[in-house]
A and B are shown apart, each in its own frame.
Chain A
Amino acid sequence: MENAALKSGEKPADILHKTSLHALHVSLGGKMVPFAGYDMPVQYDGMGVLKEHLHTRSAAGLFDVSHMGQAILTSQTTDPARALEKIVPGDIAGLSAGQMRYTVLLNDKGGIVDDLMVTRWDERTLYIVVNAACKDKDFAYIRSKIGHETELEYLGERALVALQGPKAEAALSALIPDAARLFFMTSFKTVYKGQQLFISRSGYTGEDGYEISLPAAFAETFTRELLANENVKLIGLGARDSLRLEAGLCLYGHDLDEETTPVEANLKWTIAKRRREEANFAGAAVILKQLADGTQRLRVGLRPDGKAPVREGAEIHLGGKKIGIVTSGGFGPTADAPVAMAYIDAAHAKNGTAVEAVVRGTPRPCAVAATPFIKQQYKKD
């Protein structure tokens, strides 16, 4: 049989970056793989992707996401939100202290350079988290666009962990009681055992939960404290991917790229009303025209019939003609069925439309379907 997991070790592990939790992953049975230039755990011995996925949905999963890019945007004289708004379509200026927002960095064609989280700390400071594989590109792009009054500072000495699932609140608030008071997409800074933490109620799984930024040197101590709770288990990148797919969340480089606009990506909700009126962000002309006229293609969810997973790269056909391509797909352990996302001709993007996905040469029936594939469990009130 043919599988990358069965190949002898060719990975240049010595040139990969390691997060501050690397030794902990290895000691706890993490199966390490190269990802975005880092040596990261894809799963853990004794669990595996399926159990890790289900554990996160039923209890609490702890993810090392320290490879992601954390930075702050600051200004002595102005609101850095105004500078960032030149290259994102979201309402950043309107965020109040502690509020955060999902948005996209845009190029001049309206294509997505990356997707990111932006949090306002105060009138002069924003905190951003970008994708690991994009961080060098993003920071260079942001610096080239924000002007001289705003500075970007990379927080390279900080780790980032995500605690996700229905028992995340109990596990984190046992250490930091104020965490229980947060609502979805809000955050606060706190000092715990002399260390400054940035805690937000957010994540990438569709579950309630938190992301916690902390000094890299404190990451292992803090992670071990969380793992002392029997409901908390370390979860690898494999389950992180299946969890986000079921939650209908995009993966940059797969579901989003520089040739794809937020309108095509079905992320119209990220383009704020005020920003549409102002039309002063990169790619605004393209995006506003697409909002008015529609697009040729659109990101949709797909539910294949039967049990066979439909994966990235599979063509979508209708009446024997190619109408699109799968950008993410696999087996959803909680959905207990294959689930996928695809870009297809907008004319056929209505939920329930019967299409076919070509898997190993055989067309298999699928339905265009709403995402998320599971019920999101965010704590909104």
Chain B
Amino acid sequence: MTQVLFSEDHEYIKIENGVGTVGITDFAQKALGDVVYVELPKIGSTVTKGGQAGVVESVKSASEIYSPVSGEITEVNQALADDPALVNSDPHGAAWFYKIKISDAGELSALKDEAGYKAFTDSL
């Protein structure tokens, strides 16, 4: 079963068999506006929870992506480099940023479920 969790930095992570697929939330893409450039992490690199794992830029501004968990990057979504606007049109689907082999499943408990994330964004 796929589990989807959210960070307060507006990343989501979909978890299947110890591998997480990370992207930015619909709430985040709406706040950013039209995405014109995405910088992805390197395959094989390791990231730590809360550490920088990419950049997303709209016409207006640049925003760093923070990894919701620690682990090794196993795959990145090259489609975003060619078509950054996917982040606006399909943030939770085609516009995933990277896949990560989760090194410490214990970190997941600090993330929010969908209802918890919605309550969080409603409070902003």
Contact = CB atoms under 8 A, between A and B. Distances in A.
A is bound by B? yes
Contacts of B62: 309, 311
A1 B63 contact: yes
Interface stretch (A3-11, A88-96, A119-127, A315-323): A3-11
A155 B2 CA distance: 62
Nearest to B84: A307
Of the listed residues B9, B32, B36, the one surrounded by the most CB atoms of chain A closer than 10 A to its CB is B36
Nearest to B61: A3
Interface residues of B, number: 28
A49 B36 CA distance: 11
Contacts of A167: none
Interface string B78-115: 00010010000000000000000000000000000000
Q: Which of A1, A42, A360 has the most CB of B within 10 A?
A: A1
A43 interface: yes
A376 B14 CA distance: 48
B97 to A, nearest CB: 10
A49 B59 contact: yes
Interface string B59-73: 111111110000000
Interface residues of A, number: 28
B24 to A, nearest CB: 6
Contacts of B37: 307-309, 331, 338
Interface in B26-56: 28, 31-34, 36-37, 39, 55-56
Interface in A1-54: 1-9, 42-43, 48-51, 53
A309 B33 contact: no
10 contacts: A2-B9, A2-B66, A3-B32, A3-B61, A6-B63, A9-B124, A50-B33, A50-B59, A238-B33, A311-B61
Interface of A: 1-9, 42-43, 48-51, 53, 238-239, 242, 307-309, 311, 330-331, 333, 338, 360
